Chain A
Amino acid sequence: SQKIEQNSEALNIQEGKTATLTCNYTNYSPAYLQWYRQDPGRGPVFLLLIRENEKEKRKERLKVTFDTTLKQSLFHITASQPADSATYLCALADNNDMRFGAGTRLTVKP
C-alpha cells in the first residue's frame, strides 16, 4: 500500500540551530513533492515544491532535498527561530490527488 511517513512526530531544537525533518514514501512515483507549514486550527500554508529532476531547492532559510532513489525528502530550516514552531507536512501526488504525511511538530526553544 502507499505510505507517506514523517519519521518524527515531534522535534525540539534550540533557537539558532538547524532543524531537519524527514519524509519517506512507499509505492509512489511522484513527479513533485511539496512541504507545508500548519499552525493549530489553521489551514496548511505552502512553503516549497521540488520536482523529481531537482536535487535541492532553497527559499530564504529553507532547504529541501529530494532523493527519488531513496524515496526520501529532507526539509531543513537554518538559523531556526521560535516563530518557526509549527507542524510541517510533506505532501505528494500520484495521479494528481495530493496526500499528506502525518506531519512533524517542531518546537524551537529560545
Chain B
Amino acid sequence: DTEVTQTPKHLVMGMTNKKSLKCEQHMGHRAMYWYKQKAKKPPELMFVYSYEKLSINESVPSRFSPECPNSSLLNLHLHALQPEDSALYLCASSQDWTANYGYTFGSGTRLTVV
C-alpha cells in the first residue's frame, strides 16, 4: 500500500459544528503532516507529528486540534470554524521528519464552512 487515504473527500459544516478529518497510511512512515491549501496558493504547514508526538504546531488557532492515535492514523478535529477556514486540507506522510524523503500526500478533504 503506497497511499495516504483521507476521509471524507468533501465536508460542509456550520460554524457551530464539530467534525473530524481522518488520514491513514500503511507505509510504515513515522512522520505525518497536516497542510492547509487555499485556491491558487501553496500548501501551508499546520502540524507535524514525528513518531506519534506533535513536533511542530505552526501557530494554528485552537479551533483546529490534531490527534495521532497510532503510527498509521492522524486526525484533525474541527470546532467553531470560521468561513475563512474553508480550504483543501491535505494530509501527508514521510519515512521520517528529516525532509530527506519525499512526502506522500492524500487527495485532501475539501472543507466548506457555512
Q: Do A and B come from one complex?
A: yes
For B33, the chain A residues whose CB sits under 8 A away are 98
Contacts of B45 in A (CB 8 A): 97-99
The B37-96 residues at the A interface (CB cut-off 8 A) are 41-43, 45, 48, 55-56, 58, 88, 90, 92
Q: Is the CB of B101 within 8 A of A49?
A: yes
Distance between Cα atoms of A51 and B101 in the complex (Å): 11
- Complex CA–CA separation, A9 to B98 (angstroms): 29
Q: Indicate the member of B33, B42, B104 with the most A CB atoms within 10 Å.
A: B42
**A side interface size, CB within 8 A:** 25
Q: Which residue of A lies closest to B103 (CB)?
A: A46
Per DSSP, chain A at the interface is strand
A43 in contact with B99 (CB, 8 Å) = no
B41 close to A49 (CB less than 8 A): no
Asked whether B97 lies within 8 Å of A96 as measured between CB atoms, the reply is yes
A97 and B48 contacting across the interface, CB-CB below 8 Å = yes
Interface contact A41-B102, CB-CB below 8 Å: no
Query: Hey, which bits of chain B sit against chain A, CB under 8 A?
Result: 4, 33, 41-43, 45, 48, 55-56, 58, 88, 90, 92, 97-108, 110
26 pairs, A vs B, C-beta closer than 8 Å: A32-B99, A34-B99, A41-B88, A41-B108, A43-B4, A43-B92, A43-B106, A43-B108, A44-B43, A44-B103, A44-B105, A46-B104, A46-B105, A49-B100, A49-B101, A51-B100, A89-B42, A92-B99, A96-B56, A96-B98, A96-B99, A97-B45, A98-B33, A98-B103, A99-B45, A102-B41
